[in-house]
Amino acid sequence: MSGSGRPRTSSFAEPQGASGAAAASVGTAAVVGSNTGKSGVSQASANNSSACANFKLARDSGKVTTVVATPGQGPDRPHEVSYNDIKVIGNGSFGVVYQARLIDSQEWVAIKKVLQDKRFKNRELQIMRKLDHCNIVRLRYFFYCSGEKKDEVYLNLVLDYVPETVYRVARHFSKAKTIIPIIYVKVYMYQLFRSLAYIHSQGVCHRDIKPQNLLVDPESAVLKLCDFGSAKQLVRGEPNVSYICSRYYRAPELIFGATDYTSTIDIWSAGCVLAELLMGQPIFPGDSGVDQLVEIIKVLGTPTREQIREMNPNYTEFKFPQIKAHPWTKVFKPRTPPEAIALCSRLLEYTPVSRLSPLQACAHSFFDELRQPATRLPSGRELPPLFNFTTAELMIQPQLNSTLIPPHARAQTSASTDGSEGSVQPGSTLTNST
């Protein structure tokens, strides 16, 4: 998030510990690998050796730190970047996240500092450098610095700072014993599906979709997907680890130990997030994989042999207790919109290929209200940009474009292109301004 002046003080509290560390993704996003070789990393870290030292002096917020950093996108043209007002905003097994202010622009950024193994490129960095989307936190710069131990090098990712997470917003309403307004559920989930459509079209699977990794600006309601530390470019035929994704949001094929899964695991996780926002609590809580599976079976019923085969062929002979599916209408509270329940049921499918694609989810009737020109946020503000699709996005599933682009956005686009309604020129975007 950009802006001058002090960042807004949030009214949402984040618990410390494991979940607090995860939500330190307040700006934690994927990092992308550079072409820098082993010697290049060493030299770069030596040049920025004072940066890591200054992080330790974070209490001296006025101290200016200057580093030689490489832009997150575009050519590798390192240049000096200065920042101050450094403070820790989160930490975990991955490393530490700091907040800082860029001297030149006075914009707030988040700096994710992780230990770098010089033998390998950082997968998070490699992925982040190729991503460019309005609903994905942006990698502005990256730089290396030396650690305390000999040959210890840290990679620092300079990312957009966004003040809130969906986790904290939902927790705020839960503590107040009220349900999050359905318009926010629609706006947040729609933007999440847009981000997933984009990364999946790039062959990238996030593998850790959860409320803590969904950053939101509480005023504009803009959502940005962050923390690509578990993300991977999935290649058909290449095995992947099954112990991925956070508890409560793991797709059943992962619980079954599948290693040939696809990006549809992100769709299952997104379905869990949607259900959680509607219910005010996780839909499939569990302390272990077995617990998790039991909770899933309580709702979806016992998977058929064919469904098990689709998740992991090695488990087809396994004997499961026969439990009937619980009607979706009884899973949710009585006043839950039927369209929301219908969407959930199309996301939380045992068979991976039966789950909706991200853009199919965006086109679902649950989001029709967002396509109405008069729809506003509870504050009276206009909705965030929802229809500024790039040409590349419109090529993912073009048969959906007539649904995805509402008439009022289509009409505006026609005035700025060649005059034919709904036409899109290469490189152009569509906006949802009226």
| 235 and 308, same domain (yes or no) | yes
Taking 50 as the pLDDT cut, the residues of the chain under it are 1-39, 57-59, 413-434
Domain end among 160, 191, 216: 160
In a domain? residue 381 = no
What pLDDT sits at residue 204?
Answer: 98
User: Do both 112 and 185 map to the same domain?
Assistant: no
Q: What are phi and psi of 99, to 5 degrees?
A: -110, 140
pTM given for the model: 0.84
83 neighbors 101 (Cβ within 8 angstroms): yes
Three-state SS for 218-234 is CCCCCEEECCCCCCEEC
Alpha helix positions (H), 203-323: 252-255, 264-279, 289-300, 305-311
pLDDT score recorded for residue 62: 75
Are 186 and 232 in a shared domain?
A: yes
Domain boundary among 370, 392, 426: 370
Strand partners, 92: 95
- Total domains in the fold of the chain: 2
Q: What is the pLDDT of residue 52?
A: 65
Measure the CA–CA gap between 392 and 228, rounded to whole angstroms.
21
Which of 273, 311, 260, 309 is CA-nearest to residue 289?
A: 311
CATH of the domain at 87: 3.30.200.20
In a domain, 10, yes or no: no
The answer as to whether 188 is a domain residue is yes
Would residue 237 count as lying in a domain? yes
CA-wise closest residue to 99 among 175, 22, 1 = 1
pLDDT at residue 14, rounded to an integer: 34
**Active site residue ranges:** 208
Alpha helices in 147-243 (DSSP H): 166-175, 182-201
The predicted-structure confidence for 86-137, as pLDDT tens digits, reads as follows: 999 988 778 899 999 999 999 999 999 999 987 778 999 999 999 999 999 9
Binding-site annotation: residue ranges for ATP? 113
Question: Are 342 and 286 members of one domain?
Answer: yes
Residue 391 placed within a domain:
no
**Is 365 a domain residue?**
yes
The amino acid occupying position 433 is: S
Structure tokens at 106: 């006075």
Percentages (nearest 5) of helix, strand, coil residues in the chain: 35, 15, 45
Burial of 348: CB neighbours in 10 Å, binned 0-12, 13-18, 19+: buried
Indicate whether 112 and 211 sit together in one domain. Answer: no
Instruction: Write out the DSSP string of 415-427.
Output: HHTTSSTT---TT
For residue 55, is it within any domain?
A: yes
DSSP of 91-160: EETTEEEEEEEETTT--EEEEEEEEE-TTS--HHHHHHTT---TTB--EEEEEEEE-SSTT-EEEEEEEE
Residue-level pLDDT at 48: 64
Asked whether the beta carbons of 266 and 295 are under 8 A apart, the reply is no
Query: Domain check: are 148 and 180 in the same one?
Result: no
Q: What are phi and psi of 385, to 5 degrees?
A: -60, 120
Query: On the CB side of 39, how many CA atoms lie within 13 Å of its CA?
Result: 0
User: 182 and 141 in one domain?
Assistant: no
- Find the domain containing 234 and state its range: 164-370
Q: 47 and 69: one domain?
A: yes
**Which residue ranges are tagged as binding site?**
113
- Same domain as 327, residue 182: yes
Is there a single domain that holds both residue 172 and residue 274? yes
Residue 218 lies in a domain: yes
Residue 135 and residue 175 in one domain:
no
Please report, for the domain that includes residue 347, its CATH number. 1.10.510.10
Closest by alpha carbon to 163, among 215, 210, 226?
A: 215
DSSP state of 429: B
Contact 232, 253 (CB under 8 A): no
What's the confidence (pLDDT) of residue 11?
A: 34
Same domain? For 147 and 203 the reply is no
d(CA 309, CA 352): 11
Last residue of a domain, one of 116, 144, 160: 160
